[in-house]
């Protein structure tokens, strides 16, 4: 009897343990959470087509439009002048830049002029006897002959006899020899070809100047040019006298220029065309680096968006019924940061900022920035 009671208690204990364990297991089972669909908020714009100006970016450094490299054609000592030959020195047009000692050469020129005068004077008695009608004009020429001035032009010879007579005496050859010497004498003085400043001086007063030696550089500081190289695809868009907006690299100052020249050929190596922008401003200096925006043309019925909104295959994301979709577009011009598009209908809602992981069919919540409320804050 006792064994029977113990067996029944053991079975009851086992069954109780089973039910208690099952209850504990069931109490730990939790319902699976329902995953909510995440709808991203995206910034959007509504398309309104308009006329977009096509601006071609370019850059370069300024070079004086009038620029002269000074070289010596004669030899001698550099004589001091009224102004020091130093960089930054201003000169007016016609003012002497460099004066080379020409005393020795000047004496040879005067000697040649004196020989010419004596040769003409020696034929005067023969002219009086053989060519009395020509005597007076040669006498007038001698009277106007001044050794301290430029040799005057010989009288015009009106007959073959006069020509043979004058040429046979060596007067014509002596005259052109003197004119040649006078031309070379003028090279001992280098004058300013225009109002400007000296930007480089390679010699000092008292130094010996040799023929062919570079002496310095001289520029007009009022007008500058900037050379730019553009892709050949822009060749048909550029026009001479087209206005160009320039700015420094810090974007703190702006200048107005114009296209002065366009090269007629394309560089075979780089496939670029060269244009020159002329600009005038007293704040500009040679060598300054500027950025330019060239007004190539105006594209009608187009929009301009950021380049990072473009997809492969000339497509962009649009929002339709709170869902992302893809639209085929026609890009007509790319700049460094933007792209000009056509074939985007008015009223189309497009993304204003890129969405990471975006795909066609993605649910989104459009959000348009309220510029008016921002301005009022």
306 and 372 together in one domain:
yes
Query: What does the pLDDT look like over 240-290, one tens digit per residue?
Result: 888 888 999 888 999 999 999 999 888 888 888 899 999 999 899 999 999
**Does a structural domain hold residue 258?**
yes
pLDDT of amino acid 27: 61
* Predicted local distance difference test score (pLDDT) of residue 40: 82
196-201 sheet: strands from edge to edge: 67-71, 214-219, 196-201, 90-91
120 within a domain of the structure (yes/no): yes
Same domain, yes or no, for 194 and 142?
no
Average pLDDT over residues 320-332: 90
The CATH number linked to 288 is 2.40.30.170
**What is the C-alpha to C-alpha distance for residues 130 and 283, in angstroms, rounded to an integer?**
71
Residues 97 and 192 in one domain: yes
Say if CB 174 and CB 112 are below 8 A apart.
yes
Same domain? For 86 and 120 the reply is no
Q: What band does 373 get if pLDDT is binned at 50, 70 and 90?
A: very low
Does residue 334 carry a pLDDT above 90? no
Tokens read off for 69:
């490299």
End position of a domain, from candidates 238, 266, 297: 297
Residue 246 lies in a domain: yes
Residue 326 lies in a domain: yes
| pTM of this structure | 0.67
Q: What are phi and psi of 251, to 5 degrees?
A: 60, 35
Last residue within a domain, chosen from 247, 275, 297: 297
Residue 81 domain boundaries: 67-101+188-219
Structural domain ending residue among the three candidates 281, 297, 313: 297
Same-domain check for residues 73 and 207: yes
How does the average pLDDT of the chain come out, rounded? 86
> Would 7 be classed as within a structural domain?
no
Residue 200 in domain: yes
Distance CA(210)–CA(193), nearest Å, equals 22
Q: Count how many domains the chain has.
A: 4
| pLDDT of res. 81 | 85
Task: Residue 93: name the closest of 228, 224, 191 by CA.
Answer: 191
User: Do the Cβ atoms of 94 and 192 come closer than 8 Å?
Assistant: yes
Question: Quick one: 304 and 372 in the same domain?
Answer: yes
* Mean pLDDT to the nearest integer, 325-337: 87
Regarding whether 201 and 84 lie in a shared domain, the answer is yes
Same structural domain for residues 49 and 59? no
Instruction: State whether 140 and 247 are in the same domain.
Output: no
Q: Which of the 8 DSSP states describes residue 188? A: T
Q: Is residue 106 part of a domain?
A: no
Tell me what the mean pLDDT of segment 81-88 comes to: 91
* Same-domain status, 215 and 351: no
Q: Are residues 166 and 230 in the same domain?
A: no
């Amino acid at each position: 009897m006792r064994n029977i009671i113990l067996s029944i208690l053991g079975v009851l204990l086992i069954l109780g343990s089973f039910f208690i364990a099952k209850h504990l297991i069931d109490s730990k089972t939790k319902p699976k959470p329902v995953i909510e669909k995440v709808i991203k908020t995206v910034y959007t714009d509504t398309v309104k087509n308009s006329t977009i100006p096509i601006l071609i970016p370019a850059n370069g450094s300024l070079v004086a439009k009038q620029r002269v490299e000074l070289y010596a054609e004669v030899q001698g000592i550099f004589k001091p002048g009224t102004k020091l030959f130093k960089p930054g020195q201003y000169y007016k047009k016609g003012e002497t830049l460099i004066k080379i000692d020409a005393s020795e050469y000047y004496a040879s020129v005067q000697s040649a002029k004196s020989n010419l005068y004596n040769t003409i004077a020696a034929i005067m008695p023969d002219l009086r006897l053989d060519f009395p009608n020509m005597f007076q004009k040669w006498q007038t020429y001698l009277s106007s002959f001044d050794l301290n001035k430029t040799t005057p032009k010989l009288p015009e010879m009106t007959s073959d006899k006069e020509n043979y007579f004058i040429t046979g005496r060596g007067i014509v050859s002596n005259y052109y020899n003197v004119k040649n010497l006078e031309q070379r004498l003028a090279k001992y003085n280098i004058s300013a070809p225009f109002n400007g400043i000296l930007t480089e001086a390679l010699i000092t007063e008292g130094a010996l100047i040799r023929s062919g030696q570079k002496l310095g550089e001289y520029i007009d500081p009022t007008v500058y040019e900037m050379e730019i190289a553009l892709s050949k695809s822009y060749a048909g868009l550029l026009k001479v006298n087209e206005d160009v907006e320039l700015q420094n690299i810090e974007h703190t100052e702006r200048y107005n220029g114009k296209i002065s020249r366009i090269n007629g050929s394309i560089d075979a190596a780089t496939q670029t065309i060269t244009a020159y922008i002329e600009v005038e401003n007293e704040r500009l200096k040679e060598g300054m680096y500027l950025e330019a925006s060239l007004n190539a043309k105006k594209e009608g019925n187009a929009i301009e968006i950021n380049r990072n909104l473009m997809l492969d295959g000339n497509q962009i994301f649009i929002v339709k019924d709170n869902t992302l979709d893809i639209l085929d577009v026609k890009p007509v011009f790319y700049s460094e940061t933007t792209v000009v598009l056509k074939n985007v209908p008015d009223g189309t809602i497009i993304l204003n900022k890129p969405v990471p992981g975006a795909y066609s069919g993605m649910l989104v919540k459009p959000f348009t920035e309220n510029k008016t409320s921002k301005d009022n804050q």
